[in-house]
Every structure is written in structure tokens, then in C-alpha cells.
Copies of this chain bind each other. A is one copy, B any other.
Amino acid sequence: MPEPIEDFYAVIPAGGIGSRLWPLSRADAPKFLHDLTGSGSSLLRDTWNRLEPLTGGDRIAVVTGRAHRAAVEKELPDIPDHNVFLESEPRDSTAAIGLAAAILVRREPDVIIGSFAADHVIRVPHLFEWAVRQAVAVAREGYICTIGIQPAEPSIGFGYIKKASELIVDGAPEAALVERFVEKPDLETAKEYFAERSYLWNAGMFISRADVLLGEIAEQDPHLYAGLMDLAEAWDDREKRGPVVDRVWPTLTKIAIDYAVAEPAAEKGRLAVIPGHFDWDDVGDFASLAKLNSHGRKNDLAILGENARILSDASSGIVVSQTQRVISLIGVKDIVVVDTEDALLVTTSEHAQRVKGVVDALKLTGRGDVL
């Protein structure tokens, strides 16, 4: 077993519900608490297991909502109390990761932090480790470093990172500077990117010195930076923390770290990238969940649910069974059926992205009890 990286701390923002996976994912059972791969453990636990060899179990922090504290601690029984950072309400990823950075840098001024989503799926852990070790080496040089996934196909579902010139860093033979970020492309463009090999999928992983990250936030949004500093100063003092959180947290700018930190840093030549050669998926909707669970076979109905009782002639799509009910499918193609105790979803892979719209409509029509 390789040793953990001494000056490294992992941060897992565990915030998003995953509305595109409703009614499986929902407020009290967000995506990161589900086993979406049949691994037997939740995505959050899988994330922890992936990071632990790199950090040790006492150097992984989780940023999550107060409502999920108990569930997170159940999934991660070994997490030290002082590494669970509770948000009083969601303020997007810059606030979440910035809070962690601000707290950790006070505890350990030279700390390098890496943020990794709680609800992504990664296979081939040793390739992930290799990428992170390179990224930490790059971060040690003062860069913000992301890990971009070497595309497995011309996907239109992800944003892209365009690599620029190589970066010579000891221990990071694959390092390069980032030229720019690109939003989700159309299929034609995605095919060009795929052919060109210098475009990587943006998987939202950022590794940097905590002080460098905070410096970037300070440049872009001094108000947000000041708020994070106030929070961090009070954080490890039980008496002080509450009032400061109540006062400051609701005022923090709601902005994704891609916009607040990564893109501006890229423009200034301060963002590096390590290509990741591992299988990665953000499991953004039921179509990708179906693909993930069809084991590479094209004509295969994916089935998720330990006690699924299914009778089907469907050769594609996915059934998620959270009840004991017999589910029978006849003559349907690329179907998506999600069967939970209080809600049922029937759609197709093609329309999987529209599930979020249902969630919005349920809110509007007063049926939020099933969200």
C-alpha cells in the first residue's frame, strides 16, 4: 500500500439532491446516499473509500447540509466530528469548498486540499490515485490543478477543458496548463473535441493549496472571501460558531467554483490539469444510470434494487425498484421506470433530462411531499 500524502486534505461537498434522478434521489435521500452501481455501498462511501488511501481517514472533510448530518455520519462512521462542516442552507460550491479551505488553512497553513464530488462514479481506483498524486505535486507549485477526464466518447453531456502547453512539474509527468473551459457542446463539436484529444471532461475536481484557492476567491469576490474568513475564525469555537453562521452564511455569494475560481484562474495561466484515465461518470440522469448498469451490453435492461421482482421483455432502459412490488414491462423500449413507495416515474432514456422539470412542476402544484 502506498503512503497517504502528508500535506493533503480531501474535501467532499455533499450537497446536491440530484433532481434528475427523482424519485430515487430526493431531499431526504439525495443522490450521494444511494448505491447507484450495485457496489453495495453509497456513492459517498465509495468516494471516501477512494480518498482514504490518499489522505488517511482523519484527513477527509465533508461539507453537507444540516439535514444530512446523521446520514453522512452513518455512512462514514470513522469521520472525526471536527471534519463534518454543516451548511445551514445550500450556497453553491464556492461557499462549500471555500468554507472548508478557510477552516483547514487555519488548522494547517500549508495544507493542500482537493475537492471531489460525493456523487460521482469512478472505476479503476489506482488510476484515480495516480492522477491525484500528480495533481497534488502541481498544487504544491502554487497552481490550482484540476483533473480532466480523457473522454471515452464524444459526449454532449459534459463541459470540456482545453489543455494548453505542457507544464514541467516533478512527480506530475502529465501536467499541462489549461487554455480554457468550454460549456456542453453540440454533437458536431463534441466529435471534433474527441478527435483532437486535447479536450478533457470537466469532472469538477480541484486540487490546490488552501491559501491559493482562498486568494483566488479574494480576487474575484472580496465579500465572499471576507465572509468565509469570518466563518472560519469562529468555526472551531463552539460558542462563537452559531451566531456567526447565522449572520454570515446567508450573505455568501451563490456561485459555482467553476465560475468563481477555475475559469478566472485559467485566464491568468494559474490553472493546471492532469488527465484522468479512469472511468468516470457524474450519473446525471437515468439514461446515464442505465448505461452505467448495463455492464457494457447494449441490449440489456439495467435493474437497480436488491429485491427487484421484475418480469420484462424490455431489452434496454432501466428499472429502479425500491419496493417489493412485481414490476412487469411489456413491449416497451429504452424505458425508465422508477418505483418508490410514494412516487412512480415512467419515462424513456431520450427524455431522462426532463425529469428535473417534473420536480419543479411537483413543487408548483403542491405535491412537494414526494420530493
Contacts and interface: CB of A to CB of B under 8 A. Distances in A.
Contact of A325 (B327, B328, B342, B351): B342
B332 A347 contact: yes
A358 interface: yes
A176 interface: no
**How many of chain A's residues touch chain B, expressed as a range?**
35 or more
Interface of A: 23, 309, 311, 324-332, 335, 337, 339-348, 350-351, 354-355, 357-358, 361-362, 365, 367, 370
B348 A325 contact: no
Contact of A347 (B329, B339, B340, B370): B329
B332 A346 contact: yes
Nearest to A338: B328
B309 A330 contact: no
A343 B329 contact: no
A343 B330 CA distance: 14
A70 to B, nearest CB: 26
Interface hub of A23, A324, A332, A365 (most chain B Cβ within 10 A): A332
B344 A327 contact: yes
Closest 10 CB pairs of A and B: A331-B351, A330-B347, A326-B343, A326-B370, A327-B344, A330-B351, A328-B358, A328-B345, A329-B346, A330-B354
A305 to B, nearest CB: 12
B361 A343 contact: no
A347 B331 contact: yes
Contacts of A347: 328-332
B343 A346 contact: no
Contact of A335 (B342, B346, B354): B346
Nearest to A336: B330
Contacts of A361: 311
B309 A325 contact: no
A348 B331 contact: yes
A342 B326 contact: yes
Contacts of A355: 330
A73 B326 CA distance: 31
Contacts of A341: 325
A346 B335 CA distance: 9
A326 B361 CA distance: 12
A273 B260 CA distance: 82
Contacts of A342: 324-326
Contact of A344 (B332, B339, B351): B339
A327 to B, nearest CB: 5
A337 B326 CA distance: 13
A328 B330 CA distance: 19
Contacts of A326: 23, 342-344, 362, 367, 370
